[in-house]
Amino acid sequence: MKTPSFLLSAIAALLFSSIVGHAGPVLIVMTPELINGIAAAPQTYMSVPVGSSLILTTSDAMNEQTTGNVRTYQWSKDGVAISGATAGALPLSTLNASDSGHYTIEPSSSPPGSNSIMSYVGIHLSVVPLGHLGNTSSRLTLKLGNDIQIFGFVVSGSESKRMLIRVVGPSLAAFGVPTPAAQPRLKLYDAQGHAFGITPTTSPDWNALFAQTGAFALTGGEDPDQTCSLQIFPPGSYTVQVSDAATQGGNVLVEVYEVP
């Protein structure tokens, strides 16, 4: 059984979105979030195939480009500062296995006339063999009410992939995660914002799929027919819209597994 990747960080992922440019690199926008008025240091996990090109940035850095109040930053990989990487965006071209690692960004100055502070944010990047997505996951925090959070992923290459998407709530309690969402739900959308996927007439053998992909068992009473989706994904970018049917909010783990 694989260790759930959110356990690798004391502060797990809150949100990331991805935008695909088929003629260029994928833009990954990491978004800090305030928890009880304090800027959190969100982490996210992403698997990309060898040869991919990315641009890492943050929502704050993008906003500064539009206002003109630009500050300097420091990007690091695995805790070591990357020489010359002081802009709000970090281009990563033609990735290979040696590029895997934990990339972080933190401000080294404040924009002119501003006292704002952005906490550091990071992404755990895994570069995998071409055509093999593996799995990626991220923990999202839903607010009380009808809150929605979004998780994005990219299917690269030229072939469609059979993939398992699931959202986990009550079962997180077994891993010590506080306040898991009671009734997590998911909806899938393609790059054009259209609802994606079909509802099978019969339910898959979810437990067999979990074992096949290395996903941990659901022990918290989640209904896999409500929290899981098995689909064939053509190459492109997709988003998972996550909500809580109980409207009580809480923590949700969203996972993407390639099914062998």
E-state strands within 82-134? 89-92, 101-107, 121-128
Q: How far apart are CA 16 and CA 191, in angstroms?
A: 15
Residue labelled with tokens 């009808």 = 146
Q: How many CB atoms lie within 10 A of CB 153?
A: 21
| CATH 3.40.50.2000 correct for 133-260 | no
**Kind and range of the H or E run holding 213:** helix 206-213
Residue ranges, CATH 2.60.120.380, the chain: 133-260
114 HSE (CA, 13 A, CB side): 15
CA distance to 15, 56, 62, 126, 134, per residue, from 49 (Å): 21, 16, 26, 8, 10
β-sheet bridge partners, residue 47: 126
User: b vs e for 131-149, b when ≥16 Cβ sit within 10 Å of the residue's Cβ?
Assistant: eebbbbbbbbbbeeeebeb
φ/ψ of 244, rounded to 5, equals -120, 115
Q: Inform me whether the pLDDT recorded for 77 exceeds 90.
A: yes
Cβ contact 122:103 at 8 Å: yes
Q: How far apart are CA 251 and CA 92, in angstroms?
A: 31
Q: Inform me whether the pLDDT recorded for 5 exceeds 70.
A: no
Q: Inform me whether the pLDDT recorded for 6 exceeds 50.
A: no
Mean pLDDT of 198-227: 90
Q: How far apart are CA 68 and CA 74, in angstroms?
A: 19
β-sheet bridge partners, residue 153: 238
Q: How far apart are CA 101 and CA 122, in angstroms?
A: 10
Q: How far apart are CA 78 and CA 84, in angstroms?
A: 16
Most confident of 13-17, 18-22, 116-120: 116-120
User: What confidence score (pLDDT) does residue 168 get?
Assistant: 96
pLDDT tens string 232-241: 999 888 889 8
Residue ranges, CATH 2.60.40.10, the chain: 1-130
Q: Inform me whether the pLDDT recorded for 28 exceeds 60.
A: yes
At 97, is the pLDDT very low, low, confident or very high (cuts 50, 70, 90)? confident
CA distance to 6, 130, 154, per residue, from 157 (Å): 27, 7, 10
The CATH fold of domain 1-130: Immunoglobulin-like (2.60.40)
Q: How far apart are CA 112 and CA 72, in angstroms?
A: 11
Report which of residues 33 and 62 the model is more confident about.
62
